[in-house]
């Protein structure tokens, strides 16, 4: 089966005041349609840079990235990005914040009534049908992140790109949104690439975990096939030996074979 996303020998070099900084080297990664892949590694390993390359927000210094048979050269509505900060416009309601994204993709092609239906359906999908007309200051941090996710889903992207979307949340809220994301991905059968620093989150959500070596000049050190069937239930996974084995493999990579730079020095 031909990969849905291909990263072919990608390299990323930034020009800084101190000279050239090679963030990524020799990145080769194939992602299948409908697959959930997480990128994990220590700070500075280039995982967000790699996500931005797939998003088309950065262009590689060398190499190529392909999505659905087309080279990635610019951002596009088929690749929606969810950042750690949902960045909602404070003067707009939840519904209107989502409508902005829907209109950017479907405006001019569909009537306003149909666009509103899309926005409402996305908010319903993330469990916010009761908060359509609330403004950001009237909802919790977790709800704001759900609005950000709804905004991305409403664009009906082929690929959902998530950059530590739950990293700033408390543990209970993060766990709740992880469980919601599992349900949403099961319903939509979408392709997801997600950056995380949380080992348990990676194992819970992923089909495969891409483990990055330390930067600079980071590359893919190892790819772990999680091997846990779906649907997944958090409380059941706690005693699943496959969960424990996957978690141990990631921790061994990150803290034994590729310890943080500060500790390795």
Domain co-membership, 57 together with 102: no
DSSP 8-state assignment for residue 57: S
Cβ neighbours for 84, distance < 8 A, ≥ 6 positions apart: 163, 164, 165, 167, 168
Residues 185, 232: Cα–Cα separation, whole Å: 12
- Number of domains observed in the structure of the chain: 2
What's the pLDDT at 261? 57
Residue 84 belongs to a domain = no
Can you read off the two tokens belonging to residue 238? 């706690």
Cβ neighbours for 241, distance < 8 A, ≥ 6 positions apart: none
Domain co-membership, 163 together with 232: yes
Phi/psi of residue 2, each to 5°?
Answer: -70, 130
252 CB neighbour count, 10 Å cutoff: 13
Domain co-membership, 145 together with 169: no
Residue 25 belongs to a domain = yes
Residue 83 belongs to a domain = no
Q: Is 213 in contact with 45 (CB distance < 8 Å)?
A: yes
Residues 52, 164: Cα–Cα separation, whole Å: 13
* Cα dihedral: 85, 86, 89, 92 (round 10): -150
Domain co-membership, 140 together with 173: no
Could you list the residue range(s) of the whole structural domain that residue 137 is in? 89-156
Can you read off the two tokens belonging to residue 83? 């950042």
* Cα dihedral: 148, 154, 155, 160 (round 10): 60
- Residue where a domain stops, chosen among 105, 132, 156: 156
Domain co-membership, 176 together with 56: yes
Domain co-membership, 72 together with 171: yes
Q: pLDDT of the chain along its 265 residues, tens only?
A: 789 999 999 999 999 888 899 999 999 999 999 999 999 999 989 999 999 999 999 999 999 999 999 999 999 989 999 988 888 999 999 999 999 989 988 888 888 899 999 999 999 988 899 999 999 999 998 899 999 999 998 888 999 999 998 887 888 888 988 998 898 888 888 899 999 999 999 999 999 999 999 988 999 999 999 999 998 889 889 889 999 999 999 999 999 888 775 544 4
3-state helix, strand, coil in the chain (%, to 5): 40, 25, 35
Residue 95 belongs to a domain = yes
Residue 133: exposed, middle, or buried by beta-carbon count in 10 A (0-12, 13-18, 19+)? exposed
Residue 184 belongs to a domain = yes
Residue 227 belongs to a domain = yes
Question: What CATH number is associated with residue 204?
Answer: 3.40.50.300
Domain co-membership, 251 together with 201: yes
Domain co-membership, 172 together with 237: yes
Residue 119 belongs to a domain = yes
Domain co-membership, 74 together with 199: yes
- Residue where a domain stops, chosen among 113, 136, 156: 156
Instruction: Say whether pTM exceeds 0.85.
Output: yes
Cα 263 to its chain centre, rounded Å, is 28
Domain co-membership, 102 together with 204: no
As beta bridge partners, residue 196 has 40
Domain co-membership, 13 together with 140: no
Domain co-membership, 195 together with 107: no
Query: In which region does residue 6 sit, left (phi positive, over 0), alpha (psi from -120 to 50) or beta (all else)?
Result: beta
Q: Rg for the chain (alpha carbons), in Å?
A: 19
- Residue where a domain stops, chosen among 156, 189, 215: 156
As beta bridge partners, residue 89 has none
């Amino acid at each position: 089966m031909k990969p849905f996303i291909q990263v072919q020998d990608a390299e990323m070099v930034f020009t800084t005041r101190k000279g050239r900084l090679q963030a990524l080297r020799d990145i080769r990664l194939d992602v299948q349609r409908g697959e959930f892949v997480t990128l994990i590694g220590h700070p500075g390993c280039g995982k967000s840079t790699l996500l931005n390359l797939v998003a088309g927000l950065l262009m590689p210094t060398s190499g190529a990235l392909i999505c659905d048979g087309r080279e990635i050269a610019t951002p596009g509505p088929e690749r929606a990005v969810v950042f750690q900060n949902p960045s909602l416009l404070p003067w707009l309601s939840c519904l209107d914040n989502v409508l902005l994204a829907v209109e950017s993709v479907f405006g001019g092609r569909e009537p306003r009534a149909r666009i509103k239906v899309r926005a409402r359906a996305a908010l319903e999908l993330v469990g916010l049908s009761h908060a359509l007309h609330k403004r950001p200051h009237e909802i919790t941090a977790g709800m704001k992140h759900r609005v950000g996710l709804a905004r991305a889903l409403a664009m009906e992207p082929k690929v959902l790109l998530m950059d530590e979307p739950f990293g700033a949340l408390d543990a209970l809220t993060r766990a709740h949104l992880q469980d919601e994301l599992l349900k949403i991905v099961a319903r939509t059968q979408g392709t997801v690439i997600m950056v995380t620093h949380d080992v348990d989150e990676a194992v819970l959500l992923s089909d495969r975990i891409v483990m990055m070596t330390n930067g600079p000049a980071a590359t893919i050190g190892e790819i772990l096939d999680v091997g846990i069937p779906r649907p997944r239930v958090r409380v059941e996974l706690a005693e699943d030996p496959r969960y424990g084995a996957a978690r141990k493999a990631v921790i061994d990579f990150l803290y034994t074979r590729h310890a943080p730079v500060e500790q390795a020095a």
